[in-house]
């Protein structure tokens, strides 16, 4: 069931999303060669709790950490580790969220560790821009497929592929609500977009093919062909005046 949020609910959700965004930015500022992914995770948890919120990924379906931290050919759901140190040239995708007064925020971004290859930079730029292409298509009266098509068309025009096994989703009093928001599809198809809907739009883009596999840890998702992957995400409200990004300052 799709839940439309009232103005009061959106105000609370906006604060949850602001905290989520702040935690993501804190991690981004701390990313450098030699730092462990566990250190980044601790930083995110401390930030979220300092704002009176709770890390909403921690314990979700058994996930053990505050942030999903995925490196290079890892697409999503990488588990932070004291043994995993960032290396110059890595790209690091961080996905996290906060629960505040019963409402969730959810966002992600991919960061460069020092100087990265031209291919890595182009992948990150393309993935980030595909997210905004999707957001621009998220207009009341339209369809989910408008968002999906905008992302897919932009990504494929730049020679990359979108992951198909994992998709965006509604967000609210649950971290994952209806509807699903795929990063591929046809315009004019799917659920109609209505004011009050809140959705996480999150393109996951691979340099190579779209296929992925899951490590034996049951969480970490990698590209099947070993190619680089990037991930960007915002929580967005559908309004009569156009889409509003909630995961922002």
Torsion of CA 139, 135, 153, 77, to 10 degrees: -130
Percent of the chain predicted with pLDDT > 70: 100
In a domain, 204, yes or no: yes
CA–CA dist 213, 74 (Å, integer): 9
In a domain, 15, yes or no: yes
In a domain, 155, yes or no: yes
In a domain, 40, yes or no: yes
Number of domains in the chain: 1
Q: What is the pLDDT of residue 44?
A: 98
Which structural domain, as residue segments, surrounds residue 234? 7-245
In a domain, 28, yes or no: yes
For 144, other C-beta atoms within 10 Å of its C-beta total 24
Task: Supply the pTM of this predicted model.
Answer: 0.98
In a domain, 223, yes or no: yes
Where are any strands of DSSP class E within the chain? 54-55, 68-71, 74-76, 91-100, 103-112, 161-162, 168-170, 177-181, 198-201, 204-206, 212-214, 221-223, 229-231, 234-239, 242-245
**CATH number of the domain within which 14 lies:** 3.90.230.10
In a domain, 117, yes or no: yes
In the three-class reduction of DSSP (H, G, I as helix; E, B as strand; rest coil), residue 134 is classed as: helix
165-222 pLDDT, tens digit each: 999 999 999 999 999 999 999 999 999 999 999 999 999 999 999 999 999 999 999 9
Distances (CA, A) of 249 to 31, 74, 206: 20, 28, 29
In a domain, 1, yes or no: no
Q: Which of 131, 241, 246, 155 is nearest to 195 (CA)?
A: 241
25-66 pLDDT, tens digit each: 999 999 999 999 999 999 999 999 999 999 999 999 999 999
């Amino acid at each position: 069931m799709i839940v439309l949020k009232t103005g009061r609910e959106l105000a609370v959700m906006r604060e949850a999303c602001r905290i989520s965004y702040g935690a993501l930015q804190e991690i981004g500022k701390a990313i450098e060669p030699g730092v462990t992914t566990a250190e980044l995770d601790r930083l995110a948890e401390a930030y979220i709790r300092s704002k009176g919120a709770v890390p909403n990924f921690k314990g979700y379906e058994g996930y053990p950490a505050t942030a999903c931290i995925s490196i290079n050919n890892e697409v999503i759901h990488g588990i932070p580790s004291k043994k995993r140190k960032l290396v110059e040239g890595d790209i690091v995708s961080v996905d996290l969220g906060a629960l505040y007064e019963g409402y969730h925020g959810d966002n992600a971004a991919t960061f460069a560790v020092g100087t990265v290859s031209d291919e890595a930079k182009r992948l990150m730029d393309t993935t980030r821009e595909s997210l905004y292409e999707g957001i621009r298509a998220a207009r009341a009266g339209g369809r989910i497929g408008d968002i999906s098509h905008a992302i897919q068309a932009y990504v494929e025009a730049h020679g990359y592929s979108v992951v198909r096994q994992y998709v965006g989703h509604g967000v609210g009093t649950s971290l994952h609500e209806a509807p699903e928001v795929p990063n591929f599809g046809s315009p004019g198809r799917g659920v109609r977009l209505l004011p009050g809907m809140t959705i996480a739009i999150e393109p996951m883009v691979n340099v190579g093919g779209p296929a992925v596999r899951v490590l034996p840890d049951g969480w970490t998702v990698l590209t099947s062909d070993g190619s680089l992957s990037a991930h960007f995400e915002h929580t967005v409200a559908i309004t009569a005046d156009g889409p509003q990004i909630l995961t922002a300052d």
